[in-house]
Amino acid sequence: MMDLAAAVPELVIRHPRVRAVRLTGSRAAGRAHDFSDWDFLVETEDFAPVAQALAELVAPLGPLAEQWDPYASHACYMLMLRGPVKVDLIFPDERREWSPPWHPSAETLVAIDRHFWDWIMWLEQKRTGGHRDVLATSLGHMYELMLRPMGADSQPEFVAEAVDVYLDLRDKLERSFGVSVPRELEDEVRPAVLSRESPRG
């Protein structure tokens, strides 16, 4: 597997407006489990051109999905790699407000799907790490910001339940909107997440 601790900084620091890139979080502290994500703090002299260039900078990683986190208090560029592996590029100096809840439509369903599988990876990381309070709070956020707008009538209590609820809602919306969401990201993330979790985990 690629040495992400070295590869990610080497790729991002190529931009002339990037001052520093350093590993942070559980990976840096030696507290990671094998499902932990890779968090990198990125310091810039000028955020806008760096943000515009990120997709090109990280292209050698071959991301299955990449997106800005709509529900973070600072700018965070999220990547999903094969493995599955989640990588977050965090810009701590770029504060932002949370976006509104998702509004499902034919135009947004693919983006919702991309966000869901990134989010479910993060939730499984918290579950595996024993952060039950964070997991419960974040499942509540997922319900309010994504699942309820899609048509869910109650908050899931577990990661596996959230996956089941989402898949049922997404399939209904695909038929309703007459669109088809690519399954490549789901095929990478779903088996890894569900193989780790008991039905009541």
Average pLDDT score, the chain: 94
Q: 197 falls in which pLDDT band (50, 70, 90)?
A: low
Tell me the domains of the chain and their CATH numbers: 4-95 (3.30.460.10), 109-194 (no CATH)
How many angstroms separate the CA atoms of 10 and 70, rounded?
26
Quick one: tokens of 15? 């931009």
Q: pLDDT tens, 170-191? A: 999 999 999 999 999 999 999 9
pLDDT for res 199 = 46
Q: Supply the pTM of this predicted model.
A: 0.94
Q: pLDDT tens, 67-103? A: 999 999 999 999 999 999 999 999 999 999 999 999 9
86: nearest Cα among 51, 60, 115 = 115
pLDDT for res 176 = 98
Q: pLDDT tens, 113-166? A: 999 999 999 999 998 888 889 999 999 999 999 999 999 999 999 999 999 999
For the cut 60, the answer to whether the pLDDT of residue 14 exceeds it is yes
pLDDT for res 128 = 86
Quick one: tokens of 175? 């038929």
How many angstroms separate the CA atoms of 195 and 41, rounded?
31
Quick one: tokens of 25? 């979080």
Look up residue 30 and give its DSSP letter: T
Instruction: Please report, in angstroms and rounded to a whole number, the separation of the first and last CA atoms in the chain.
Output: 29
* Residue 51 burial (CB count, 10 A): 18
41: nearest Cα among 55, 18, 69, 22 = 22
Helix (H) or strand (E) holding 43: strand 38-44
How many angstroms separate the CA atoms of 158 and 199, rounded?
8
For the cut 80, the answer to whether the pLDDT of residue 52 exceeds it is yes
More confident residue, 32 or 51: 51
Among all chains, which residue has been given the structure tokens 């789901």?
186
Q: 201 falls in which pLDDT band (50, 70, 90)?
A: very low
pLDDT for res 34 = 78
For the cut 70, the answer to whether the pLDDT of residue 200 exceeds it is no
Phi, psi of 190 (to 5 degrees): -55, -50
Burial of 146 (0-12, 13-18, 19+ CB in 10 A): buried
DSSP codes, 103-165:
---TTTHHHHHHHHHHHHHHHHHHHHTT-HHHHHHHHHHHIIIIIHHHT--S--SSHHHHHHH
Helix (H) or strand (E) holding 88: strand 85-95
**At 98, which amino acid appears?**
W
